[in-house]
Structure 1
Amino acid sequence: MRRRFAPHQLRHAHAVEMAHEGVPLVVIQRQLGHANLGITSVYLQGIDSSEIISTVHGRPSPTISATAGLQMIR
C-alpha cells in the first residue's frame, strides 16, 4: 500500500532532524519562518522523520527530458 506524501512534511522532518541534532528551538523557529515559538514546538510533536524520509525515497524521482522547455532559435 502506498502512503500519500505531502511536500510540507519535509518541513516537519527538517525540524525534527535539527532538534535531534541539538539545534536550539529558537534557531529552528527562525529557519522555518515561524513568528510564534508555539507553532515550532507543534512541529516537533509526534513526527517520525524516518517514516517521511522512507516514503520520499520510495517514490519515483521526477524526470524531465533534456529538451523540455527549449525553443528553436531562428
Structure 2
Amino acid sequence: MAKITKMPGMAIVAGFKGTLDYYVHCGVNCVRSWPRSPGHDRAPAVEAQWAAFSWAASNWKELALPVKEAYNHMAQ
C-alpha cells in the first residue's frame, strides 16, 4: 500500500484496472497492486467451513439475533 496525495481521474483509474487498485482507507487515498487470488487450492479447514457459511449467508434473515450479533462481533 502506498499513500497518495489525491485520487487520479476515473480515466486513469480505469486504465490501470487489473494492475493497480486505488481506494480510500480511513480518509487517506491509497494505491496498491491489484489483489490476486491465492490460487485454486484452499486449506482443508477453510474448505470445511464453506458449507456452513453458505447456509448461514443464504438464511441470514431467518437466523436468530444472538447468532447474527455473535457473527458481527467476530467480524469486527
What's the TM-score, normalizing by structure 1? 0.25
* Structure number with higher strand proportion: 2
Q: Flag the structure with more relative contact order, 1 or 2, with Cα contacts below 8 A and sequence separation at least 6.
A: 1
What's the TM-score, normalizing by structure 2? 0.25
